[in-house]
Amino acid sequence: MMFLAVGGVAVFFALSSWALTVATGPSAIVGTAQKQSAGLLFFLTESRLGGTFTDVLHVLFVTGMFAALLSFHNVVARYAFAMGREGLLPAAFGRTSGTSGAPGTGSLLQTVVAVVVVVAFAIADDKPVGDPTAPVLQLFTWFGNIGALGVIVLMAAASLSVVVFFVRRGAAGAQAWRLATSALAGLALLVIAGYTVKDFEVLVGAGPDSSLSWVLPGIIGLALAAGLVLGLVLRARAPEKHARIGLGNEAFQLDKAASS
């Protein structure tokens, strides 16, 4: 079922991209996307399918964005919970809240970070007149594409880690076809990440000479470098904490058994 779900999403995205290209013409899709930004889809549907359809599409877009934001919020909260449970964040992040079992501290951390980012974009807007949605579009475009690039890199790392995991445990032969598909997926995702970085100025609507084309994707590179350095430091100075990374609930149970 998982493969069918992923395949269905891939086909849907491919058909959607093809439909947008047909609507504008292959040679005009980039220019139209740069001009319309986040309103590209609505611009194309209003003249072809009418205002009512476009209004419904706006509602679906807003509710879909809310669902996606809620999903990412929950994922980040769970990551913070796992990191707190494994000793990478303060212990408060490794505890759940009340009877709900929700990672409340991780959720609060994500909320605070989101508020800080939104406020920073609002303060940085130095245009008292004109389009008040400009900082919103910048926030959506910049961080949406940074997040997409980060997810691609994470998926590539996860795919390649499957290969490393089974090879280190001497199970490469028994899992040969899984390792082959994981390796192909990881390499394909790395190629996609490379093209994403190469054309990042198009994604964020910046010029070819804009510093945004390397500053924004550089955030992902900086986070990756910081994570690798932190891992090396932990392995050298706190090997027991480093060994628990990725153990999840097992690490929590080990701590619980040690304390009792």
Q: HEC profile for 69-93?
A: HHHHHHHHHHHHHHHHHCCCCCHHH
**Contact indicator for 18, 25 with CB cutoff of 8 Å:** no
Which pTM was predicted?
A: 0.75
Mention every residue, 6+ apart, whose C-beta is less than 8 A from residue 41: 20, 57, 61
Would you state the pLDDT for residue 144?
84
Mention every residue, 6+ apart, whose C-beta is less than 8 A from residue 186: 156, 157, 159, 160, 163
Of the pLDDT bands very low, low, confident and very high (cuts 50, 70, 90), residue 120 is: confident
**Contact indicator for 110, 80 with CB cutoff of 8 Å:** yes
User: With pLDDT > 90 as the criterion, what percentage of the chain qualifies?
Assistant: 9
- Poorest-confidence range of 33-47, 108-122, 185-199, 238-252? 238-252
What amino acid occupies position 72? F
